[in-house]
Amino acid sequence: MNETLLLARRAVREVWRLPAATLPAVFIPVFFMVVNIGQVNRIFPPSTPFLQGQHYVAFQVPVSLVFAVSSATSGLAMVTDIDIGYLDKLLAAPIRRTAIVWGRLAADLVRGIAVSTLVLIVGFLFGARVRSGVPGVVLLILLAALWGVAYAGIAMAIALKTKNVQTTNASFIIFFPLLFLTPNFVPLELLTGPLRAVARLNPVSYVITGLRDLVLYPDIHWGSLGACVLTIVLTGLVLTALSLRALNRFAE
C-alpha cells in the first residue's frame, strides 16, 4: 500500500505541474457541447418531453463529462516513464507491479474530479441544473472520474505494448465511435433501429444514461444508476487487467 501511495503522489504531482496535458481534456468536450447546443437548442426547447423542462444543455452535460475524462493521458505518462528509464527502475525495485498501475490510475482519479468539476461549472453557466441536488452533483463528478479511471487502462495497455507516443495518443480515437454510437443527441428510444441496437450493446450508453438521469430527474433512478456503476466496475476490471498483463509481459 505504501508504494502505491508514493507512486500515486508522484503521478498527481505530474498533473499539477503539467496543466497543459489536462487543458485539452476540458477544452474539446466544452467546444463540442457549445457547438451541439448551438445546432439543436431551438429544435429541442425546454418543453420537449425528454428534457423534463430543462434546456438542451442539461442533456449534453453528461456526454461532455464522459468525453472529458476518456483520455490517453495515463498512457502518455507511461510512455514517458519508459523513455526515461523510470519504469525499468520500478520493475527492478522490490515493489508490487500492481502499485505501478494503481499509482498511475490515482492521478486519473484526481484529474477526472478536476476536469468533471470544470465541465459541470460550464454547464451551469449555460443554464443546466442538476435536478437531483447536491447528492446528484457529487455522484456526477465521482462517477465521471471513476469512468475515466476505468477507461484509462486501454491507453496504458497500448503504451506498454507499443512503447510509442503516437500510437498511444491515437488510442484516444477509439473512444470516438464509442461516444457517437450512444444516445448522445436524443434518448435511446428515438434512435433508428440499427443504431438503437448498437447503442444498447455499447457500454458507454449506460454510463451516459446513468449520469443524465441524475441531471434531468429530481429522484435518483436506481436502475440506470446501477447499470452505470456496474458498467464502470466491469470496464475497470477488464481494462486494468489488460494493463497488468501488458506490464508483466513488458518485464519479461
- pLDDT one-digit tens code per residue, 164-220: 888 887 777 788 888 888 998 889 888 888 899 999 999 999 999 999 999 999 998
Q: Give pLDDT, residue 20.
A: 63
Q: Give pLDDT, residue 43.
A: 86
Q: Give pLDDT, residue 123.
A: 92
Domain that holds residue 120: 2-251
Look up the pTM and report it. Answer: 0.90
Q: Give pLDDT, residue 21.
A: 63
Long-range (24+ apart) CB contacts under 8 A made by 183-192 are: 183/208, 183/209, 184/60, 184/63, 184/208, 185/36, 185/40, 186/50, 187/50, 190/50
Long-range (24+ apart) CB contacts under 8 A made by 157-161 are: 157/75, 157/239, 157/242, 157/243, 157/245, 157/246, 158/72, 158/75, 159/74, 159/75, 159/76, 159/78, 159/79, 159/82, 160/78, 160/82, 160/243, 160/246, 160/247, 160/249, 160/250, 161/246, 161/249, 161/250
Which residues of the chain, if any, have pLDDT below 50? none
Kindly report the number of other CB atoms within 10 A of residue 103's CB atom: 21
- Count of domains forming the chain: 1
Q: Give pLDDT, residue 140.
A: 95
